[in-house]
Structure 1
């Protein structure tokens, strides 16, 4: 025989040990590169397998040229066995990470290690018949090792084959583990038949070859697997990037870019078979107020809920997209006729405006819709979208219907709006706005009781502009809060200046927009303003329209109660033009009701209007609310209102809106006449009456 059995076995163990340690280095490198935990545990397993082979090499040397005591050899055999079992446990931990994408907890891992050591100690203990351990013990130890490793490696191979992607890398690794398991089953079979066969060089060579094939296949399989995983991640990243580029990140529906890509295709399809393409552009009304009330996350949830409703419409659209903050586009290609399109638009509106539960709160939102059509409004995608946007802007106007079709000439209004925005922003920065004050008089005494602030714009080119020529644009451009802030601060400065100049000021009423009234920070803002200019609670009064108060009754009631707690008086302006009911009027914590001028204009000519005004005055007095009539222009109107016991009036019959200098003159004249009348009646108290003493 050319080589001794010990030499062949030693060379086999040495070769396997070097290959396993090389495999451990490769796995460590891959772990540092890819950060997958199973690579780390498998590299530990390879190290322990290599160490076990090294210990076996020492044991074989002790049989040939290295003399070691028997208890040392026994300890080395137990150590080699323990290292083998721990390596199997580490392989199992790595497979757990592959299966569930996480490693077991530290306590569970230590239990696995402890179990491996117990098995190693148990199988290396002398368990054979008394007096004959040398025959039984090697068989039990080797059979246990081969059987346990065969089961473990077979399970590992099966799990990898079942759980991983059906590609070359995982299949190669699974095949390597299954081959090793089959080899160990074969060795167990040889042990059961004749244990002496395991000592033959042929078996050593075959097992060595199988081990080398196993290590080579495992290394190649892991390399391929990792490269495939990297390629899949790159493909997934590309697909995700494409999805992000074409879909809205918040709602998951198509974004503007994807819509503009598909729209020409839809147009060509409709052109081919003579169908109409209809674009509905939906915009949530006062969405900023929703964000201010619910917070940004609450606003996001509203948008997600809206997108889900649009995706689940019973009449299926060809496309649903979110093109900006609160604006969605819904496209249909099977609707014909203006009436059917209008009905569909109102159906969409009803679905959108159904109450929704957000963070435990019931939200009632409204929306406006702009409509454009192919071929009526052209064949360019950008043009159809632009015209739907123009129609939407018109739908948001106060006097417009909530669903508006684009029509010729709307572009001019939209262009005017676009041109107006920079001018309005400059007007705010340059203080081009002017406040005129219209006096309000007590009906019974005809005493001056306060003023209403009315905004004008001193345009550098166009001259003095009335509010009707620019306030609608302010509302559409979302500048209402900024303009309201400017007016409030200006009036606060004016009152503070008049008081510093020795004037006895009367309240100034300021109109608030819907956007501003629904801001949660309104009361805090007013507190800071009153503190900065040292105002009294009654110096400023706030006016809101009935629609503003009733659009969100819960928010409206909360704001009104906070204002009342501050001592600030609130009036409902333009009453009778909105949709509130007298039942709600009883609940609103307001101090005054201002009858719209449209009723006063018809007071003498319309019996119905005079009856409405009389009834409203009587009801308001029952509810302990004061009535102010706007737009009183004739003595007859004033006489009738006086006979109806109206509390206060304002209008051209008494005074038009005047500038601050004339307003101060009116204020000074009133106090002079009031003091003169008081002195004539023998009033020597010298105390100036407050506003409350001037009312009926």
Structure 2
């Protein structure tokens, strides 16, 4: 019922608009056989059909029948021709435009304007042809005057279309056309001056006409110039409305002989006048559309350069630029919130990247909806967002908690799955005088990382973390330095011997573990533990391990004599490397082209990395063992869940964690753990290696427990690989 009522209201409104245009045109008719110089209704009907479809051409016969019954009575024989001429021509022009327009509909662009103009010409020609036949048939125009009637009818329709259709298409339009209704960006005073100037130019034309000046019509250049001004400076709709006013004003003066002007008496006079008015109606509008296109393109390019395409938020570069400007200002409080989604990769892997994009858009809506226009909101990475807002830290914490709750409550229905989300937020606050942006971002990022390490779905403020956050920030800087060291290859290979505890098992072949030492940009040596921690935390492990593998193989390939002296060379692999398929492919290819036998390499993996993803670890071990590599399970015993899966893990050595070895003889627990590991290893036909053996006494205890190998300061400290091979192999009996 409501839809039907709305349709009826639209029908009555559009029919009334068409009727009003026809009534205005009837003022030009002095005799029954006159042809109107301006038919605005043609533009009304054309715009309606293009916007709402061909069926809405029904307003044309309804309005014309009402016109002929009330204002413009004509012979009964002409009424069918009048209705048919206007209705059929409107349908033909509408069909042409609807068939040839682009799939994205009509927009304010030059190509669409030219298409509408072609449709208008078709309407004028078709309507004039049918109407002229009717005029002759009904006796309103003698056959000898049919050419004159056809030309005036065509020009009258064309003028009505070029004057009325653009503005009505915008007002009635939706989507692309309605986007032109943006506010003028110029100063209101300029608009006021323009309006007064337009009125003054029309008054000048009337004044010149009343004075009897033969060239009064030449003053039409004044409103034309003002319309061109509007086309360049104002919105297209302003230009279109101004064009309607100017064309209607000039046509009334000349068509009705007002203001001292004389009606065109000949066909040539009428044709020249109507062509002039067509040009006045076309040129400013086309210029306005072209200017709008240019502005629209520039705005689109600016949008692309400054906004994230998926969410519409600021992109990273623009956010940083504007944030630096805000921090350089005098706002008393600025808080930076750095948000990172938890486990977002699972969404992409389990659903799809399209589902991931939906989630990103949903989260972007939550984040931007929480903060007002005074905040800078950006998507800074795949699943990362940043907000700089002028509020205190306590207010930022409150906002952040609301954002976390809203994200936690998100439910995205994707096919047969219900996707959920969670996030971690880090907050850093700055008061005047503000810190630099890089420092503020570093603190917020470190706080966000801390929130993730605490389990995620929580908020951490940098000021409340104290020294712990400072340590994390230092770790982030270390990661950057590690990356730089990798790029510049500022690493040195070290080696530490692994020797059998039974002197009878001693051999001339060497067993050792490769260790890594590095220097910072100043050349100062850095702690290896700092290197490993930073690499693992910031996912540089696979790249670092690839470097070590390549460096060891290159060193041994260049020294075949030393390579021949090796029984096994231990190389540590991080947890991230163990599950990295690309590293597996790389290492397999590198071994195949190496002259160093794979049997001489023993890959050391940690117990915790195996527990993290046992299936992938087993696949990696199986693949490398097929190539000939051996394996050692490093730091064994720290997990205390080891024995349950050990029988299914194909490794050659168990390296007993040094924390137990150091406590031998002082802790019954340490003694029991080392003894148990050794016994179980021998049952499974594996060998044990005791790490961090620091005293001869510890070596004696280890030998008594049946441990196979030892490694530590009690035997030899780590040394450069060159020095390691230049000295005689370390032996346990040499320590006596």
Q: Same fold (TM over 0.5)?
A: yes
Question: Is the alpha carbon distance of 1:264 and 1:223 closer, same or farther for their aligned partners in structure 2, counting shifts above 3 Å?
Answer: same
**DSSP-derived class of the 2:498 partner:** strand
Residue number among 371, 382, 395 corresponding to 2:427 in the alignment: 371
| Structure 1 equivalent of residue 91 of structure 2 | 154
Q: Distance in 2 between matches of 1:203 and 1:280?
A: 78
Question: Is the alpha carbon distance of 1:575 and 1:282 closer, same or farther for their aligned partners in structure 2, counting shifts above 3 Å?
Answer: farther
Q: Distance in 1 between matches of 2:300 and 2:461?
A: 37
Residue number among 464, 473, 491 corresponding to 2:552 in the alignment: 491
| Structure 2 equivalent of residue 567 of structure 1 | 628
Q: Distance in 1 between matches of 2:355 and 2:686?
A: 37
| Structure 2 equivalent of residue 280 of structure 1 | 338
Deviation (angstroms), 1:509: 0.8
Deviation (angstroms), 1:657: 2.5
Deviation (angstroms), 1:322: 2.8
Map of 1:243-258 to 2, 5 A cutoff? 243-249=303-309, 252-258=312-318
Q: Distance in 2 between matches of 1:417 and 1:203?
A: 88
**DSSP-derived class of the 2:714 partner:** coil
1:438 pairs with 2:497: yes
1:211 pairs with 2:154: yes
Residue number among 632, 652, 677 corresponding to 2:693 in the alignment: 632
Q: Which runs of 5+ in 1 are unaligned?
A: 1-94, 101-142, 674-696
Tell me, yes or no, if the aligned pair for 2:426 and 2:449 is still in contact at 8 Å. Answer: yes
Tell me, yes or no, if the aligned pair for 1:557 and 1:588 is still in contact at 8 Å. Answer: yes
Question: Is the alpha carbon distance of 1:489 and 1:158 closer, same or farther for their aligned partners in structure 2, counting shifts above 3 Å?
Answer: closer
Residue number among 356, 360, 378 corresponding to 1:321 in the alignment: 378
Question: Is the alpha carbon distance of 1:184 and 1:389 closer, same or farther for their aligned partners in structure 2, counting shifts above 3 Å?
Answer: same
Tell me, yes or no, if the aligned pair for 1:543 and 1:573 is still in contact at 8 Å. Answer: yes
Q: Distance in 1 between matches of 2:412 and 2:513?
A: 37
Deviation (angstroms), 1:619: 5.6
Deviation (angstroms), 1:590: 4.3
Deviation (angstroms), 1:585: 5.5
Q: Distance in 2 between matches of 1:621 and 1:348?
A: 56
| Structure 2 equivalent of residue 310 of structure 1 | 363
Tell me, yes or no, if the aligned pair for 2:635 and 2:656 is still in contact at 8 Å. Answer: yes
Q: Distance in 2 between matches of 1:339 and 1:579?
A: 40
Question: Is the alpha carbon distance of 1:580 and 1:357 closer, same or farther for their aligned partners in structure 2, counting shifts above 3 Å?
Answer: farther
Q: Distance in 1 between matches of 2:640 and 2:359?
A: 26
Question: Is the alpha carbon distance of 1:184 and 1:422 closer, same or farther for their aligned partners in structure 2, counting shifts above 3 Å?
Answer: same
1:365-420 C-alpha deviation (Å, 9 max, x unpaired): 99986431345995766653243245567889999999765356767985797599
Question: Is the alpha carbon distance of 1:341 and 1:445 closer, same or farther for their aligned partners in structure 2, counting shifts above 3 Å?
Answer: farther
Question: Is the alpha carbon distance of 1:478 and 1:336 closer, same or farther for their aligned partners in structure 2, counting shifts above 3 Å?
Answer: same
Residue number among 428, 434, 443 corresponding to 1:387 in the alignment: 443
Q: Distance in 2 between matches of 1:202 and 1:276?
A: 80
Tell me, yes or no, if the aligned pair for 2:88 and 2:127 is still in contact at 8 Å. Answer: no
1:473-528 C-alpha deviation (Å, 9 max, x unpaired): 55577765554344323432454466436943211111123454444332343344
Bigger shift: 389-398 or 546-555?
389-398
Q: Distance in 1 between matches of 2:454 and 2:505?
A: 35
Q: Distance in 2 between matches of 1:355 and 1:465?
A: 48
Question: Is the alpha carbon distance of 1:351 and 1:454 closer, same or farther for their aligned partners in structure 2, counting shifts above 3 Å?
Answer: farther
Q: Distance in 2 between matches of 1:377 and 1:619?
A: 64
**DSSP-derived class of the 1:563 partner:** helix
Bigger shift: 459-468 or 161-170?
161-170
Q: Distance in 1 between matches of 2:131 and 2:457?
A: 86
Deviation (angstroms), 1:600: 2.9
| Structure 1 equivalent of residue 514 of structure 2 | 453
**DSSP-derived class of the 1:307 partner:** helix
| Structure 2 equivalent of residue 231 of structure 1 | 291
Bigger shift: 260-269 or 476-485?
260-269
Map of 1:539-688 to 2, 5 A cutoff? 539-551=600-612, 555-577=616-638, 588-613=649-674, 616=677, 626-634=687-695, 637-638=698-699, 641=702, 646-660=707-721, 663-664=724-725
Question: Is the alpha carbon distance of 1:259 and 1:426 closer, same or farther for their aligned partners in structure 2, counting shifts above 3 Å?
Answer: closer
CA RMSD for the aligned pairs? 6.1
TM-score, normalized by length of structure 2?
A: 0.53
Tell me, yes or no, if the aligned pair for 2:610 and 2:617 is still in contact at 8 Å. Answer: yes
Deviation (angstroms), 1:240: 1.6
**DSSP-derived class of the 2:566 partner:** coil
Q: Distance in 2 between matches of 1:377 and 1:540?
A: 57
Q: Distance in 2 between matches of 1:438 and 1:228?
A: 82
Question: Is the alpha carbon distance of 1:651 and 1:176 closer, same or farther for their aligned partners in structure 2, counting shifts above 3 Å?
Answer: same
**DSSP-derived class of the 1:507 partner:** strand
Question: Is the alpha carbon distance of 1:453 and 1:152 closer, same or farther for their aligned partners in structure 2, counting shifts above 3 Å?
Answer: same
Tell me, yes or no, if the aligned pair for 2:606 and 2:636 is still in contact at 8 Å. Answer: yes
Tell me, yes or no, if the aligned pair for 1:436 and 1:659 is still in contact at 8 Å. Answer: yes
Q: Distance in 2 between matches of 1:342 and 1:615?
A: 50
| Structure 2 equivalent of residue 406 of structure 1 | 462
Q: Distance in 2 between matches of 1:626 and 1:276?
A: 60
Deviation (angstroms), 1:453: 0.8
**DSSP-derived class of the 2:567 partner:** coil
Tell me, yes or no, if the aligned pair for 1:267 and 1:277 is still in contact at 8 Å. Answer: no
**DSSP-derived class of the 2:295 partner:** helix
**DSSP-derived class of the 1:653 partner:** coil
Map of 1:125-144 to 2, 5 A cutoff? none
Q: Distance in 1 between matches of 2:622 and 2:713?
A: 34
Q: Distance in 1 between matches of 2:650 and 2:409?
A: 32
Q: Which runs of 5+ in 2 are unaligned?
A: 1-46, 53-79, 163-277
Q: Distance in 1 between matches of 2:717 and 2:476?
A: 29
Deviation (angstroms), 1:541: 1.8
Map of 1:184-203 to 2, 5 A cutoff? 184=129, 186-187=131-132, 189=134, 194=137, 200-203=143-146
Tell me, yes or no, if the aligned pair for 1:150 and 1:180 is still in contact at 8 Å. Answer: no
Question: Is the alpha carbon distance of 1:206 and 1:531 closer, same or farther for their aligned partners in structure 2, counting shifts above 3 Å?
Answer: same
**DSSP-derived class of the 2:605 partner:** strand
Tell me, yes or no, if the aligned pair for 2:423 and 2:457 is still in contact at 8 Å. Answer: no
1:225-270 C-alpha deviation (Å, 9 max, x unpaired): 6545433332322222232233224654322344357759999999
Tell me, yes or no, if the aligned pair for 2:427 and 2:447 is still in contact at 8 Å. Answer: yes
Deviation (angstroms), 1:452: 0.8
Tell me, yes or no, if the aligned pair for 1:372 and 1:387 is still in contact at 8 Å. Answer: yes
Residue number among 591, 596, 612 corresponding to 1:530 in the alignment: 591
